[in-house]
Amino acid sequence: MDANGAKEMAATTPEESLPLGPDETRQSRFANDLIIKLHILMKVSQIYDQKNVALNQVVQGSLELINHFLESEGSLALKVIRDGIFINGKRLKVGVESYIGFKFVLEQLKKKRVGEIRICAVLDETMLKKFIYHLMNLSDGDEDNARKLHDELKRLGIKSIEVDPLEIFEEDEFFAGHTNPKEAGKKLFFETIGVIKGVVTGIKKNQFIDARKMKRMVQGAVNLMVKDESILLGLTTIKNYDEYTFNHCVNVAIYSLAMGRRLGFSKKILTELGMTGLLHDIGKSKIPKEIINKPDKLDDDEWRLMREHPMTGVEMMLKIKQLGEMSPKMVIGVFEHHINCDLTGYPKLIRKKDLTLFGKIIKVADCYDAMTTPRTYRRKPYRPEQALAIMVREKNGFDPVLLKVFIGIIGIYPIGSLVLLDTNEMGVVYETNPDPQHINRPKVILISQSEGRRRIGPAVDLAEMDGETKRYKKSIVKALDPKKYHVDIVEHFL
């Protein structure tokens, strides 16, 4: 098995304990022995320098164990996931004798932000010593440690050991210190824009891409989306003209996540879908800005370049080593995001094929966000309800079921719409009604005018009825153009 194979194995969902067979007993014993040896090695390296003889015996013992395992298994992957250690994909069942060692190794790897160590070929004494000393000398809490250690191993010519950063789960990290999910959402939204900007700039300059950071952001978004979808959906009303490309990528990720959630995707698949949304247009980073922002029609050559961006995106995704965990679904999603359901659009397909769910979801999200955002060639964007109406008319473009799901999320009066109520008040839609029967009854923030002054609030649920008359207290009459009424929609979501 090669290093990637080992990585794949280690990344698979670990199975929970069944009665141990002879092989499993052997593996479990090995895992416990390994942790004990690693614990001693780490400890000794903190006390003695590399030349001290006291070290040799410990190194020898560990080497025998590791190399023996490599001979039979081909590779060895030790991975930290939350509070567990997994050896070649199997969770370490900690025995009494290895408990202290397990605690120590887990704590050290977490501190050093190293989440995975893969050994893919037999080691010698020097290699193991150098590795342990460099690992233990890393400063605590530095997110860049795995990359630094990786570079150091490369410099030392040690090819048989690979390391990856610790995966921090957003649930643990992102909501810590944020009791208010709305605040957490805002932070996450703006930080993700920064991260995707960093990824694109990094790709352009052929620099190291921190794809893990991006994944953590998406995991945070998935958790928030599961808790309360209206927070992130509300933030998509920020249509930042200057940062269009990055803002657009984040919005597409959010819309896609909301759709994936309604379709019942698992958190793992949602994370992949969110990443696809973030990366769907990376191919555009290779197109000159003048073409992207050209206010006039594109000429034939410019169009040809523009049409290449899904394929360029695929090539770029495959090149980013740190995106090793990327699934084919994600790459195909990027490839397909401009292909219509009747297979028109671009890139042109040589053979007929069914489009993937990822591709079709991203297409809906992408198109809606592009239509509702001001651009150099269309300063006045479509209002949300206008964009949805156009998309519904375009019969061959979108998967009809997915479009229905999307309209269910966005509502016929989408989040961020300005509406006129039968009470003569205006309202900004901030949460759609999940009940399809009451799709026209979202929650709104009231905007009323009295004595020449505008009052904002309170928030009301249009599904509320009057106890006595048994009639709805307020209903929407029609959608309004926010520009005409000088209403800044975004301020209601910040």
Contact set with Fe ion (CB under 5 A): 281, 366
Q: Which is nearer to Fe ion, 223 or 373 (CB)?
A: 373
Amino acid occupying residue 197 = K
- Would you report the helix, strand and coil content of the chain in percent, each value rounded to 5? 50, 10, 35
Element (H, E) at 361: helix 357-371
Query: Nearest-CA neighbor of 326 among 211, 432, 220?
Result: 211
Q: Which is nearer to Fe ion, 336 or 366 (CB)?
A: 366
Are 275 and 252 in contact by the 8 Å Cβ rule? The answer is no
Q: What's the min distance (Å) between Cβ of 457 and Fe ion?
A: 35
Are 85 and 35 in contact by the 8 Å Cβ rule? The answer is yes
Q: What's the min distance (Å) between Cβ of 255 and Fe ion?
A: 11
Alpha helix segments (H runs only) across 48-180: 53-73, 99-111, 125-136, 145-155, 170-173
Q: Which is nearer to Fe ion, 116 or 366 (CB)?
A: 366
Query: Nearest-CA neighbor of 76 among 122, 115, 109, 107?
Result: 122
Residue 64 has, within 13 A of its CA and on its CB side, a CA count of 7
Q: Which is nearer to Fe ion, 168 or 364 (CB)?
A: 364
Q: What's the min distance (Å) between Cβ of 320 and Fe ion?
A: 18
Q: What's the min distance (Å) between Cβ of 384 and Fe ion?
A: 17
Q: Which residues contact 371 (CB under 8 A, 6 or more apart)?
A: 381, 382, 387, 390, 391
Q: What's the min distance (Å) between Cβ of 332 and Fe ion?
A: 14
Q: What's the min distance (Å) between Cβ of 163 and Fe ion?
A: 35
Beta bridge partners of 378: 375
The first and second tokens of residue 11, run together, are 């990344």
Q: What's the min distance (Å) between Cβ of 259 and Fe ion?
A: 15
Q: Which is nearer to Fe ion, 210 or 366 (CB)?
A: 366
Q: Spell 276-314 as b/e; 16+ CB within 10 A means b.
A: bbbbbbbbbbbbeeeebeeeeeeeeebeebbebbbebbb
The whole-angstrom separation of Cα 145 and Cα 172 is: 20
Taking CA 203 as the corner, what is the angle to CA 224 and CA 119, rounded to the nearest 5 degrees?
80
Q: What's the min distance (Å) between Cβ of 288 and Fe ion?
A: 16
Q: Which is nearer to Fe ion, 366 or 399 (CB)?
A: 366
Q: Which is nearer to Fe ion, 210 or 281 (CB)?
A: 281
Q: Which is nearer to Fe ion, 284 or 492 (CB)?
A: 284
The whole-angstrom separation of Cα 233 and Cα 273 is: 16
The whole-angstrom separation of Cα 481 and Cα 383 is: 8
Q: Which is nearer to Fe ion, 366 or 385 (CB)?
A: 366
Q: What's the min distance (Å) between Cβ of 334 and Fe ion?
A: 9
Q: What's the min distance (Å) between Cβ of 475 and Fe ion?
A: 36
Q: Which is nearer to Fe ion, 170 or 281 (CB)?
A: 281
Query: Nearest-CA neighbor of 340 among 361, 311, 360?
Result: 360
